[in-house]
Amino acid sequence: MNSIKQPIFIRLIYLVFSIFFTTAVLAEGEQHMALILKSPDFAHQGEIPKVFTCDGNDSSPALSWSGLPQNTKSLVLIVDDPDAPDPAKPKMTWVHWLLYNIPPTATELPQAVAVANLPVGTYQGKNDWKRTGYGGPCPPIGRHRYFHKLYALDIELPDLHHPNKTQLEKAMAGHVIGQAELIGTYQR
């Protein structure tokens, strides 16, 4: 190549590479929007109001989400407390609520959601009170953290017949394509 054509050739390669790289980054960003979980009832790391605890109505807070990954087939919600029984010396993680097969078309759960108001197709697991449904914060001592974890899955799970957290996590293994977390605290 002569010296005049070489800079044009190099610029052309640079231009093609730049366009390819920019397109790849934009496509990657579109596929991996951040999954966000929030509540109008409490801020992330904020105090959960008494009404949503065993000291109040023991009703579930409203939750909403956005930014589901492409190819999401179902959602799982796990609410648990890793500070049980005493945050100074935690010995276990207490499970408060398990929902699975929430359809990807759903974008929220209303406050005090009842079984009849769950999105169609949603199943419940058993919490550590050995029952289905929401069981609110009820810490015996100290300020506990309550993790509300939303998982986007690339499959719809079969009916697991009221699984516990371990059984649900085993069924989810290898199928999580997105995750969001909202933490609230409560002290009696």
pLDDT in tens, the chain (188 residues): 555 555 665 554 544 444 444 334 444 444 456 999 999 999 999 999 999 999 999 999 999 999 999 999 999 999 999 999 999 999 999 999 999 999 999 999 999 999 999 999 999 999 999 999 999 999 999 999 999 999 999 999 999 999 999 999 999 999 999 999 999 999 99
Here the tokens at position 18 are 């730049």
* Separation of alpha carbons 38 and 65, rounded Å: 6
DSSP state of 104: T
Read out DSSP for 123-183?
A: EE-B-TTSSBS------SSS-EEEEEEEEEESSPPP--SS--HHHHHHHHTT-EEEEEEEE
Helix or strand or coil: residue 100? strand
Q: Model's pTM, two decimal places?
A: 0.83
pLDDT on residue 158: 98
Here the tokens at position 43 are 């801020």
